[in-house]
């Protein structure tokens, strides 16, 4: 077992039930605990790379902006995304995204295999895939165009052009290419450590720190979507109106 900071991480809530059929809450808590223990071999080598030659990406007409997706409650979209044109500069209000259409393809495949699945079934499977609390509310998918320079990967090496995250910081201090000197992420190692410890110590989410979401619906291989963060203050353009979750998943890419 290793840690990105040089010591093992195993300081999470106790009391997880050993029942044969754990509840959603218990399964989620177990995921948070497991994600805290970074082990050799968990540095997945098939992350989506944000490079022009990646045919899975969707670009605007002049190839200057890439399409990303975020899943939000309707109220969160109405309050924070719809009236703005830039991401908040507050590091406590980060905008986490995936590259279109990774999540859409995943949930469309889920519906294909489970044609009788309800909207709640779909939402639960998405919460699992994206490493989210089963009690949190999500209603719509929002697609937005962003400059690739304004995107970084939440791992010890934040560059987005490779397919794997390092397990530990190296001798050279990593930087986010688009970050300004006054940005919350200017000191990236400090930013990442705060992000990592806040997520784990508070038991908020099963944060891997390895560039992918923790899929707690598939504990034998909990590799979810490749995840990214927009730099604080980054500009974005919402592509269309937000799309209701079930409708988003029903339409193939």
pLDDT tens, 88-140? Answer: 988 889 999 999 999 999 999 999 999 999 999 999 999 999 999 999 999 99
In contact, 193 and 186? CB cutoff 8 Å: no
Tell if the pTM clears 0.85, that is, is over it.
yes
The burial of 151, by beta-carbon neighbours within 10 Å (0-12 exposed, 13-18 middle, 19 or more buried), is given as buried
Quickly tell me which residue has 């082990």 as its tokens: 39
The pair phi, psi for residue 228, each rounded to 5°, is -140, 165
The burial of 193, by beta-carbon neighbours within 10 Å (0-12 exposed, 13-18 middle, 19 or more buried), is given as middle
Q: What is the pLDDT of residue 20?
A: 65
Q: What is the pLDDT of residue 252?
A: 74
Query: Domain segments of the chain: what residues?
Result: 24-250
Quickly tell me which residue has 């605007």 as its tokens: 60
What are the DSSP calls for 14-81, one per residue?
Answer: ------SS--HHHHHHHHHHHHTSB-TT-S-S-PPP-STT-TT--B-TTS--EEEEEEE-HHHIIIII
Report CA torsion sign: 179, 183, 186, 190: negative
In contact, 130 and 142? CB cutoff 8 Å: no
More confident residue, 251 or 217: 217
In contact, 44 and 211? CB cutoff 8 Å: yes
Calculate the alpha carbon distances from 175 to 145, 157, 179, 186 in Å.
23, 8, 8, 7
pLDDT bucket at 1, cuts 50 / 70 / 90: very low
Q: What is the pLDDT of residue 10?
A: 37
pLDDT bucket at 25, cuts 50 / 70 / 90: very high
Say what percent of the chain tops pLDDT 90: 70
pLDDT at 169 > cutoff 70: yes
């Amino acid at each position: 077992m290793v840690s990105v900071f040089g010591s093992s991480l195993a300081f999470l809530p106790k009391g997880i039930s050993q029942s044969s059929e754990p509840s959603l809450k218990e399964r989620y808590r177990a995921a948070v605990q497991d994600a805290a223990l970074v082990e050799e071999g968990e540095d997945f080598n098939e992350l989506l790379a944000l490079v022009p030659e990646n045919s899975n990406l969707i670009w605007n007409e002049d190839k200057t902006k890439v399409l990303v997706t975020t899943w939000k409650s309707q109220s969160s979209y109405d309050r924070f995304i719809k009236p703005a044109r830039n991401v908040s500069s507050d590091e406590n209000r980060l905008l986490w995204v995936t590259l279109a259409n990774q999540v859409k393809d995943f949930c469309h495949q889920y519906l294909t295999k489970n044609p009788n699945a309800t909207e709640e079934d779909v939402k639960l499977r998405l919460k699992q895939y994206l490493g989210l609390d089963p009690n949190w509310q999500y209603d719509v998918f929002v697609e937005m165009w962003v400059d690739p320079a304004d995107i970084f990967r939440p791992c010890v090496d934040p560059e987005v052009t490779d397919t794997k995250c390092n397990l530990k910081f190296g001798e050279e201090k990593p930087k986010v290419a688009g970050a300004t000197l006054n940005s919350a992420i200017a000191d990236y190692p400090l930013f990442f450590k705060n992000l990592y410890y806040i997520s784990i110590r508070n038991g908020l989410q099963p944060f891997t720190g390895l560039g992918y979401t923790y899929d707690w619906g598939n504990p034998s291989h909990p590799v979810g979507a490749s995840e990214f963060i927009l730099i604080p203050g980054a500009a974005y353009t919402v592509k269309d109106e937000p799309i209701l979750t079930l409708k988003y998943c029903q339409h193939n890419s």
